[in-house]
Chains A and B, each alone.
Chain A
């Protein structure tokens, strides 16, 4: 949180963001995107927020080396994004939003864990989510490491 406070980029012109754009929330048929699901977090925001969320290590479902949602190399995804959107991407902004994504998922995971620990929900899924924050902490430590 301290790093995010100190490294917040200047605000970007707001765009419509999906808010939960990640592998698991879109449908693909024969290599083509057919639907984007789960729009309940949609809102106006920084366009890089959705990219950071999509690239978060926790959404690669084991295919960690495919840096874009576990489905493609990160560089290929970013090339495709730039070609489709016409936007320029700033690595420092992406780094910030990826660290923000990791913190966001960490906070959500703790909230889900508390539904088990404090709320008494007898869900093993929720309980196990309490053991996910370390994944986010690893990503945050990597992303916030200062270059030597």
Chain B
């Protein structure tokens, strides 16, 4: 699972802003640190391919059984909102495992430095 904008969108915007940069005054040019960050996210996504999505799907299937990823995820959101997993127990633990899996996977691509720093 990936948050939007994805690496392709970030890269397209980065290229567009790089192209117009020479025609802009220095203070209006895109920040090189932001360019580097966008390129790094896109590269991590390219390298990871679909593997992280498969890992999230696996965690969801362990909870609900086979099904469409979006449908299952929406069902999970509905049930959390409805209070289905309010009580501590094995079911809630399974839900937490899904949420952790999705969050860690997103951070590995979006901001691995944050993940590494927060794990220390």
Chain A residues engaging chain B, CB cutoff 8 angstroms: 1-2, 6, 57, 60, 62-65, 113, 116-117, 122, 124-125, 127-128, 130-135, 137-138, 141, 145-146
Chain A residues within an 8 Å CB radius of B114 = 57, 64, 135, 138
Question: For the complex, would chain A's binding face be called helix, strand, loop or mixed by DSSP majority?
Answer: helix
> Which of B34, B92, B103 counts the most chain A CB atoms within 10 A?
B103
Residues 71-101 (chain B) with a chain A CB within 8 angstroms: 80-81, 83, 86, 88, 92, 96, 99-100
Chain B residues within an 8 Å CB radius of A2 = 80-81, 83, 86
> Nearest-CB distance from A69 to chain B (Å)?
14
Contact of B13 (CB < 8 Å), options: A62, A64, A127 = A127
- Known A124-B13, A127-B10, A131-B3; judge A64-B34 contact (CB<8 A): no
B86 touches A57 (CB 8 A): no
Give the distance in Å from the alpha carbon of A30 to the alpha carbon of B110 in the complex: 36
> Nearest-CB distance from A133 to chain B (Å)?
6
> Nearest-CB distance from A100 to chain B (Å)?
17
> Nearest-CB distance from B63 to chain A (Å)?
16
Contact of A145 (CB < 8 Å), options: B38, B83, B86, B96 = B96
- Known A2-B80, A134-B110; judge A124-B4 contact (CB<8 A): no
Give the distance in Å from the alpha carbon of A137 to the alpha carbon of B3 in the complex: 12
Chain B residues within an 8 Å CB radius of A134 = 3, 103, 106-107, 110-111
Some 26 contacts from A to B, beta carbons below 8 A apart, are A2-B81, A57-B118, A63-B117, A64-B114, A64-B118, A65-B120, A116-B5, A122-B17, A124-B10, A124-B17, A124-B31, A124-B38, A125-B31, A128-B34, A128-B38, A130-B5, A131-B10, A131-B110, A131-B111, A134-B3, A134-B103, A135-B107, A135-B111, A135-B114, A137-B103, A138-B114
